[in-house]
Structure 1
Amino acid sequence: MKQTVMWTALPNGVANGKLRLSVFVSPRLEATEAESQSKLQPFTDFVEWPARIAAAQFQVQFGNRPPIAATRVEPNGAEGAADMWRAMINADTFLEPVKLPDWDKRAIRSFSVRNVLTHIKQAYQATAIQSPTVVPKVAPARLQSQPVGRFLGELAPPAAQRTALRTQLDAQLRASPSRALFNPTVDDAGSVKTRGIVATPAGANVPKATASPVAVDFQQVDSFYRPTSYPPRVERVRPPVVAPKLDFHKILSSLGQYPGVLRAVGLVIDLEVPFDAALQGQTTVMVTPTWSPVTATTNVTPRTRCSIGPSQFVAQPRADSDIANGMLKLNDDTRFEVGQVDVDGAAIKAMTAAEEAQSGEADEEKNAALPSLRSAGIWVARVNRAHQVATVTLPRLATQNVQLVNLADKKAGQVDDLYAEDVTRGYRVDVLDEDAGQWRSLCQRVGEYHFRNTDVGVNRKLNLEDEGWVSSAAAESTEEDDDDLYVHEVLFTWGGWSMAAPRPMRALPQEGTPKAKPAEYGLETSFMPKPGSLPRLRFGHSYRMRVRVVDLAGNSVPPDSADASAASDPVEYARHEPVSTPILTPRADLAKSPGETLERMVIRTYNEVPAKDNQPSPEACERHVAPPKTSESMAEWHAKFDSDAGMKGDAATYKLIIDNDGSLKEVEEAEQLELPYLPDPLAIGATIRSVQIDVAPGPEDEVVKVPYDGDWPDWQPFRIRIVEERGDGGKGAEFYKSQRRLVIPVPKAEIAEIWLSSYVDEPEVPNLGVYRWTVEGLAAPAIRKAALQPAQLRQVRRQLSTPTESAQAAQAVKLEAPKVQQMQLVSTAVLKGIHWMVTPYRKITLVHAVQQPLVTPDLTDLKTLKGFGNTYATLEDKFPISGKSTIKVDVLSEWDEPIDPLSEPTWRTLKGKAHVVELPVQYGDTEIVMGSPQEPAAPGGVRTFTPIRAMGVPMM
Structure 2
Amino acid sequence: RVSPDPELELWQAIFKPEAPVFSFKMADLSQNLVVSYPVKNVLTFVASTYLNVATESPEEPPPMEKLFHSDGLAQIRLKPITDARYSRTVQLRTTQQVMAQSVRHEAESQKIKAVQITPVPQPPKDFFLLRDFYKPKNRITIDPKTQQPIIKKVPITKPEIDFHQALAFLTNYPALMRLLGLALDFEMEVPSDFPSSGWIKIVPEGRTDETPRTAYNFDPSRGVFEPAPGKKPADVINGFLNLADEEQYDLVQLDVDSVALKTAELADTAETKEKADLPALRSSGLGVVKNEQAKSVAEVFVRAVELNTDLTHKKELTFYAEDLVQGCRVDVWDEKSKQWHSLCQRIGTYKFLRLNRELTLEDEGFISPAVTQSADESSNDIFVHESLFHWDGWSLVAPRPGKTIDPNDNPQSIENKAISDFLLETRFKPKPASLPRLRYGVGYRLRARAVDLAGNSQPLENPDDSCAIPAPSKSPFTFSRFDPVPSPQVILREAPKSGENVDHVVIKSFNESLAKDSVPTSQVADRHLAPPKISQLDSEFHGMFDGASGIKPEVYSLICQRDAGQLKEIEPGEQIEVPYFPDPWARGACIRGLPYGAPDPMMIEFSGDWPDFRPFRISLQEGSQPARWDSSSRVLTVFLKKGESVTLRISCYFPERFLPIQGLYRWLEKPERIIPLKVMQPPHGLPEGQVQMLKTLQPPKIDLSKLRTISLQGRNWLMTPFREITLMHATLQPVGQPVNKSLEAERGLGQTSAVLYGEFEVHGPSTSKAELLANWKEPVDYLNEPGPRVLEGKAHVLEFKIDQVMSSLELTPRPEASPKINQPGSFELQTKSVTAAMVKAPQTPVYRHEFGDTKFRKVNYWLVATTRYMEQFPSNELPEETGYTRSSNPVEVKVLNTAPPAMPKVLYVMPSFKWERDKQGTSFKSTRKSGLRIYIERPWYSTGEGELLAVVLPPGITITPRKPLATPVSRKNEPQSSQRIQPMAQKRAVAGSFQVNVPPVDERYKPYVTLWGTDPIWRSGPLSPPEYPGPEAFPSAVEVMGDLPLLELPQDKKFIAVGHQVEYDEERQLWFCDLEFDPGQAYFPFIRLALARFQPDSVPGAHLSKVTVANFAQILPERSLVVSFNPSKLTEIKVTLSGKSYIQGYAGSGPGEVEVALETKKLNLPDELGWEPIKDAVITLKPQRASASEFGSFIWQGTLNLPKGIKLQDYRIIVKEYELFDTDEIDKTAMTVAAVPQKYKRLVYAETIKLMDL
Q: Same fold (TM over 0.5)?
A: yes
Q: Could you tell me which amino acid in structure 1 is paired with residue 352 of structure 2?
A: F
Are 1:476 and 1:485, in contact at CA under 8 Å, matched by a contact in 2?
yes
Q: Could you tell me which amino acid in structure 2 is paired with residue 377 of structure 1?
A: G
Q: CA deviation at 1:371?
A: 1.0
Q: CA deviation at 1:225?
A: 0.7
The verdict on how the C-alpha distance between 1:880 and 1:183 changes in structure 2, with shifts beyond 3 A counting, is closer
Are 2:75 and 2:124, in contact at CA under 8 Å, matched by a contact in 1?
no
Q: CA deviation at 1:924?
A: 4.2
Distance 1:642 1:431 in 2: 19
Q: Does 1:379 align with 2:303?
A: no
Q: Does 1:232 align with 2:232?
A: no
Q: CA deviation at 1:712?
A: 1.9
The verdict on how the C-alpha distance between 1:286 and 1:393 changes in structure 2, with shifts beyond 3 A counting, is same
Distance 1:932 1:110 in 2: 58
Distance 1:522 1:705 in 2: 63
The verdict on how the C-alpha distance between 1:164 and 1:543 changes in structure 2, with shifts beyond 3 A counting, is same
Q: Does 1:625 align with 2:537?
A: no
Are 1:374 and 1:576, in contact at CA under 8 Å, matched by a contact in 2?
yes
Q: CA deviation at 1:157?
A: 6.9
SS of structure 1 residue aligned to 2:164: helix
Are 2:647 and 2:725, in contact at CA under 8 Å, matched by a contact in 1?
yes
Higher share in strand: 2
Q: Could you tell me which amino acid in structure 2 is paired with residue 387 of structure 1?
A: K
Q: Does 1:678 align with 2:581?
A: yes
SS of structure 2 residue aligned to 1:549: strand
1:755 is aligned to 649
Distance 2:642 2:602 in 1: 23
**C-alpha offsets along residues 106-140 of structure 1, whole Å, 9 cap, x if unaligned?**
1111111111111111111111111111201125x
Distance 1:658 1:330 in 2: 43
- Report how many residues are paired: 764
2:212 is aligned to 302
Equivalent in 249, 254, 266 of residue 353 of structure 1: 266
**C-alpha offsets along residues 388-415 of structure 1, whole Å, 9 cap, x if unaligned?**
222x3112111222334x2xxxxx5224
Q: CA deviation at 1:337?
A: 1.2
Q: Does 1:529 align with 2:430?
A: yes
Are 2:595 and 2:626, in contact at CA under 8 Å, matched by a contact in 1?
no
Distance 1:931 1:351 in 2: 42
1:25 is aligned to none
Q: CA deviation at 1:420?
A: 0.8
Distance 1:710 1:126 in 2: 37
Distance 1:231 1:931 in 2: 54
Are 2:36 and 2:383, in contact at CA under 8 Å, matched by a contact in 1?
yes
**C-alpha offsets along residues 51-73 of structure 1, whole Å, 9 cap, x if unaligned?**
xxxxxxxxxxxxxxxxxxxxx11
1:115 is aligned to 41
Distance 2:456 2:81 in 1: 50
Q: Output aligned runs, 1:825-844, within 5 Å.
A: 825-844=706-725
Distance 1:221 1:763 in 2: 37
**C-alpha offsets along residues 475-519 of structure 1, whole Å, 9 cap, x if unaligned?**
112132111111111111111111122222222345799974478
Q: CA deviation at 1:945?
A: 14
Q: CA deviation at 1:627?
A: 1.9
The verdict on how the C-alpha distance between 1:605 and 1:239 changes in structure 2, with shifts beyond 3 A counting, is same
The verdict on how the C-alpha distance between 1:465 and 1:857 changes in structure 2, with shifts beyond 3 A counting, is closer
SS of structure 1 residue aligned to 2:348: strand
Are 1:853 and 1:885, in contact at CA under 8 Å, matched by a contact in 2?
yes
Q: Does 1:338 align with 2:261?
A: no
Q: Could you tell me which amino acid in structure 2 is paired with residue 844 of structure 1?
A: I
Distance 2:173 2:13 in 1: 16
SS of structure 2 residue aligned to 1:103: coil
Q: CA deviation at 1:596?
A: 2.3
Distance 2:889 2:444 in 1: 70
Q: CA deviation at 1:679?
A: 2.0
Q: Could you tell me which amino acid in structure 1 is paired with residue 463 of structure 2?
A: A
Equivalent in 88, 93, 107 of residue 173 of structure 1: 107
Q: CA deviation at 1:775?
A: 2.3
The verdict on how the C-alpha distance between 1:894 and 1:604 changes in structure 2, with shifts beyond 3 A counting, is farther
Q: Could you tell me which amino acid in structure 2 is paired with residue 177 of structure 1?
A: K
1:442 is aligned to 343
The verdict on how the C-alpha distance between 1:238 and 1:259 changes in structure 2, with shifts beyond 3 A counting, is same
The verdict on how the C-alpha distance between 1:891 and 1:348 changes in structure 2, with shifts beyond 3 A counting, is closer
SS of structure 2 residue aligned to 1:232: strand
The verdict on how the C-alpha distance between 1:102 and 1:856 changes in structure 2, with shifts beyond 3 A counting, is same
Distance 2:738 2:679 in 1: 69
Distance 1:220 1:647 in 2: 44
SS of structure 1 residue aligned to 2:468: coil
2:455 is aligned to 554
SS of structure 2 residue aligned to 1:399: helix
Distance 1:932 1:249 in 2: 86
1:735 is aligned to 629
1:643 is aligned to 547
SS of structure 1 residue aligned to 2:184: strand
2:200 is aligned to 285
The verdict on how the C-alpha distance between 1:829 and 1:74 changes in structure 2, with shifts beyond 3 A counting, is same
Q: Does 1:616 align with 2:520?
A: yes
Structure ranking higher on relative contact order (CA contacts 8 Å, 6+ apart):
1
Q: Could you tell me which amino acid in structure 2 is paired with residue 380 of structure 1?
A: V
Q: Output aligned runs, 1:380-779, within 5 Å.
A: 380-390=288-298, 392-404=299-311, 406=312, 413-453=314-354, 458-509=355-406, 516-517=417-418, 520-569=421-470, 570-590=476-496, 593-648=497-552, 650=553, 652-653=555-556, 655-657=558-560, 659-690=562-593, 702-725=600-623, 731-777=625-671
Distance 2:425 2:758 in 1: 93
The verdict on how the C-alpha distance between 1:217 and 1:498 changes in structure 2, with shifts beyond 3 A counting, is same
Q: Could you tell me which amino acid in structure 1 is paired with residue 306 of structure 2?
A: T
Q: CA deviation at 1:827?
A: 1.1
Distance 1:316 1:327 in 2: 12
**C-alpha offsets along residues 167-200 of structure 1, whole Å, 9 cap, x if unaligned?**
322333334332212312226xxxxxxxxxxxxx
Distance 1:773 1:473 in 2: 32
TM-score by length of 1: 0.72
- Indicate the structure (1 or 2) with the bigger Cα radius of gyration: 2
2:227 is aligned to 315
The verdict on how the C-alpha distance between 1:876 and 1:317 changes in structure 2, with shifts beyond 3 A counting, is closer
1:254 is aligned to 169
SS of structure 2 residue aligned to 1:504: coil
Are 1:518 and 1:524, in contact at CA under 8 Å, matched by a contact in 2?
no
The verdict on how the C-alpha distance between 1:610 and 1:502 changes in structure 2, with shifts beyond 3 A counting, is same
Q: Output aligned runs, 1:815-834, within 5 Å.
A: 819=701, 822-834=703-715
SS of structure 2 residue aligned to 1:758: strand
2:1047 is aligned to none
RMSD: 4.3
The verdict on how the C-alpha distance between 1:228 and 1:308 changes in structure 2, with shifts beyond 3 A counting, is closer
Identify the range of structure 1 (297-306 vs 483-492) with the bigger mean alpha-carbon deviation. Answer: 297-306
Q: Which runs of 5 or more residues in structure 1 are unaligned? A: 1-71, 188-212, 292-296, 360-364, 407-411, 788-817, 865-873, 896-909, 937-942
Distance 1:441 1:843 in 2: 46
Q: CA deviation at 1:879?
A: 9.1
Q: Could you tell me which amino acid in structure 2 is paired with residue 114 of structure 1?
A: K
Q: CA deviation at 1:893?
A: 10
Distance 2:330 2:659 in 1: 30
TM-score by length of 2: 0.56
SS of structure 2 residue aligned to 1:535: coil
SS of structure 2 residue aligned to 1:344: helix
SS of structure 1 residue aligned to 2:285: strand
Q: CA deviation at 1:841?
A: 1.3
Distance 1:216 1:931 in 2: 49
Higher share in helix: 1
Distance 2:534 2:244 in 1: 35
